Amino acid sequence: MRAILAAILVLLLTAAVAVPHVHTAPSSGECAACVVRAGDVAESQVPDLSPLPLAAGEVVLAPQSRPKDGAPLGAIPGQSPPRA
């Protein structure tokens, strides 16, 4: 019974999409069938996923700031960090 209802539904939807129709609502735009009919075909191009070549030069790190004295705020239980 479900298969028969599914087949009827498919035939009904196919007929509704295939038959030319008019959009009577003033601001409805296009229906889903018109959007699908006028849509672009999906491209099957695969992006290049090969790893990038590594630079053979020397790695230069940014200068480090001087270490601060004491524990940072929030490191001691019960002490909350300052609000930003």
How many domains would you assign to the chain?
A: 1
Residue 62 lies in a domain: no
3-state DSSP helix/strand/coil percent for the chain, to nearest 5? Answer: 25, 0, 75
User: Is 16 within 8 Å of 33 (Cβ atoms)?
Assistant: yes
Residue 6 lies in a domain: yes
pLDDT at 74 over 90: no
Give residue-wise pLDDT tens across range 28-56. Answer: 667 777 777 777 776 767 777 888 887 77
Residue with the bigger pLDDT between 63 and 33: it is: 63
22: left (phi over 0), alpha (psi -120 to 50) or beta: beta
State pTM to two decimals. Answer: 0.31
Residue 71 lies in a domain: no
Question: What is the span of the domain harbouring residue 9?
Answer: 2-20+29-36
Q: From CA 2, how far away is CA 8, in angstroms rounded?
A: 10
User: Is 44 within 8 Å of 50 (Cβ atoms)?
Assistant: no
Residue 10 lies in a domain: yes
